[in-house]
Structure 1
Amino acid sequence: MTVRTVGVEEEFLLVDPATGRPRAVGQAVLAVSAADGPDDDLTAELHREQVETGTKPCHTLHELGAELRSTRATAAGAAADVGVALAPLATSPLAVEPTLSPSSRYEEMARRFGRTVSEELTCGCHVHVAIDSAEEGVAVLDRIRPWLAPLIALSANSPFWLGEDSGYASFRSQVWQRWPSAGPYGPFGSAGAYRTFVDSVLGTATVLDEGMLYLDARLSRQHPTVEVRVADVCREPDDAVLIAALTRALVQTAVDGWQAGDEPDPVRTEVLRLAAWQAGRSGMDGDLLDPSGWRPAPATDVVRRLVEHVRPALEEAGDLDTVHDLIATVLARGTGARRQREVRERTGTLAAVVRDASHPAP
């Protein structure tokens, strides 16, 4: 079997090294990066207080880990040249009024969606896994739906919002649901049905374009990939490697099931929304909904069932031992959300939370 390539896009905050507050310097960071040479891996985002990186397609988890560290280092270096730090936090712990990046598209989004845009300073981790065709990709979309919520729990890295503890491990996942085209989706059945769905969404004139199809997973418009979009940006690059490894294994498991004639789980979209909410609420520190019966179970048990679900794909890719090690690390030290709360408890300040996560460290 040829192992599918996997790539990761990460969004980051640009913060003041002293105060921890986001700074609207995204364009300056991009200019510094461009002056050092063309770099398609560092791009603008919706707000000037953030930038996005992207890895190359990778065959191995070792290669992906090196790519993630390299892209983070490049972005952090450009940020440091403008006097700010790069913060892998999925929401800003400190209150902020984001500044729109210069773009006619973003300006139209702001006009159409109001406060949803003006408050949407969130940072996600998007995983791209190679597919052979749109038909195969839609078969994947239909079959990975039950297992996306545990990826939210494993990546949870956004407990604070507007200067307060939100009560959620991933409040980014809550804020993201404000978009009318975001969240869990129903099964499509075929590439033709998926295209009909996309055309129907565009026909409503609610969203601007296909780029605003913010489903938890979708067919990429620019690459021959399935793009899974549920995870928070991870504080640790190894956690992003874990999310990517599990995502690739989910894709391969879904293709294997499709080719074997297995039907997708018919779970209703409304139940998936409940599963996603629960994952964002408690992260790895409480119960998740177990796809085997959609009843609460300890998060650690649900993640172990996820690994068992994709075990053959992990073994074929040579990823099983690495995934076991990475999960053990997350369970031992906790998610980014737990780390943020521990720093807040120890120091009493949210600025310290941001500094603790920033690259380079102040």
Structure 2
Amino acid sequence: MRTVGVEEELLLVDPESGEPKALAAAALARAEQDDTCQEVFEKELYDQMLEFATRPQSGMAELRAEIVRCRQEAARHAGETGCAVAALATSPLPVNPSFGVGRRYQWMAEQYGISTRLVCGCHVHVSVESDEEGVAVVDRVRPWLPVLSALSANSPFWQGRDTSYSSYRNRVWSRWPSAGPTEVFGSVEAYRHRVDDMVATGAILDEAMVYFDVRLSARYPTVEFRVADVCLDADTAVLVATLCRGLVETAAREWREGREPVPHSVSLLRLASWRAARSGLEGELLHPRTMRPAPAAEVVGALLEHVGPALEDSGDLKTARASCARVLREGNGARVQRDLYERTGSLREVVAECVRRTQE
């Protein structure tokens, strides 16, 4: 059974005003004093963000328990510093982000300027047996990544305004020079050559700054999916992780069977990514097989059909179907946020409710 780990970036906010607070260093200092939180929390680029990483898990029930535990620990340590955590991919209220200390972060802030805006994502690591298998997976999962973006979309507001996007984080993140979809690599050698060429341009510092939508991890024997917004509730995060593992296993089987990747161009994949960010689950998406518009429910169903045999073998198919049906019925995080704003007329109340849901 392939193991799965999740990294979530949580927004630190004032519990009264809902505005982001630059207290990451203080929250991390609290966590470092707690023996149960060793190697769980990590420093990120922004002072208004607290990131955690779960331990790798084989079972999705155990992964969910890990995510819930880490969110609760994050809330506790943030509370000790006078703030709260919210699983929001962008701040609904205006924010002027500040950056952590250190030469690396300062270089990024100076080099990329306004592109370094505060956004929070969910990264999923799925184990692979080798770099060869990993690159084969990277090549074959490409068309399906926008569906994960649509399911996880949780960033409709930006600087106090409705963006008309379901995942505005997706659009902000796409401004980074190394982010986005990739062409088919075909081999580990081609993948490594491309990474080396990118580093050699001087536009990025090292391999860790290669922000492909899905990439070989520089630290772990995994492929890392980087397309999802941080999800408002833990169940949606688990659904995304489940689908990621299903995609990896399905792609690995296709590779072993000698089936070639779908040769969609990067141009079409970028359009599919934009479409998912714009409409989420509210309208049409581009079907991963045809790159033509289709209802979101149909496209989600196609993803479930694609990974169905792998999920059946892991025992996750029934739960994944039920979770997809729930998100399609109740809406993703973007839909929840907009409904909250429609009812309350207050972005502060939106943040307060999202804090409550994050810490449940």
TM bin (shorter chain): over 0.9
Letter in structure 2 aligned against 1:335: N
Partner of 2:22: 24
Any conservation in 2 of the 1:95–1:162 contact (CA below 8 Å)? yes
Partner of 1:151: 148
4+ residue runs of structure 1 moved beyond 3 angstroms? 359-362
Distance 2:51 2:217 in 1: 17
Distance 1:227 1:252 in 2: 14
Partner of 1:96: 95
Distance 1:206 1:101 in 2: 20
Partner of 1:36: 34
* Pairing 1:353–2:350 present: yes
Matches within 5 A, 1:216-295: 216-295=213-292
Partner of 1:56: 55
* 1:207-242 Cα shifts (integer Å, max 9, x gaps): 111111011000000000000000000000000000
Partner of 1:79: 78
Structure-2 change in CA distance of 1:324 and 1:107 (3 Å): same
Letter in structure 1 aligned against 2:15: P
Letter in structure 1 aligned against 2:11: L
Partner of 2:204: 207
RMSD: 1.1
Any conservation in 1 of the 2:71–2:359 contact (CA below 8 Å)? no
Any conservation in 2 of the 1:10–1:52 contact (CA below 8 Å)? yes
Distance 2:173 2:244 in 1: 20
Partner of 2:8: 10
* 1:253-276 Cα shifts (integer Å, max 9, x gaps): 000000000000000010000000
* 1:290-333 Cα shifts (integer Å, max 9, x gaps): 02211100001000000000111000100001101111111121
Distance 1:192 1:43 in 2: 31
Structure 1 residue 361 displacement after superposition = 6.5
Aligned residues: 358
Partner of 1:111: 110
Any conservation in 2 of the 1:355–1:361 contact (CA below 8 Å)? no
* 1:14-65 Cα shifts (integer Å, max 9, x gaps): 0000100000000000011112225211111111000101111000110110
Any conservation in 2 of the 1:65–1:237 contact (CA below 8 Å)? yes
Q: Which 5+ residue runs of structure 2 have no aligned equivalent?
A: none
Distance 1:115 1:291 in 2: 32
Q: Which 5+ residue runs of structure 1 have no aligned equivalent?
A: none
Letter in structure 2 aligned against 1:13: L
Q: Give the % identical residues.
A: 52
Matches within 5 A, 1:279-358: 279-358=276-355
Distance 2:337 2:78 in 1: 22
Any conservation in 2 of the 1:92–1:162 contact (CA below 8 Å)? yes
Any conservation in 2 of the 1:21–1:94 contact (CA below 8 Å)? yes
Q: Secondary structure at the match of 1:358?
A: helix
Distance 1:61 1:184 in 2: 27
* Pairing 1:132–2:129 present: yes
Distance 2:257 2:75 in 1: 45
Any conservation in 2 of the 1:170–1:280 contact (CA below 8 Å)? yes
Distance 1:96 1:292 in 2: 39
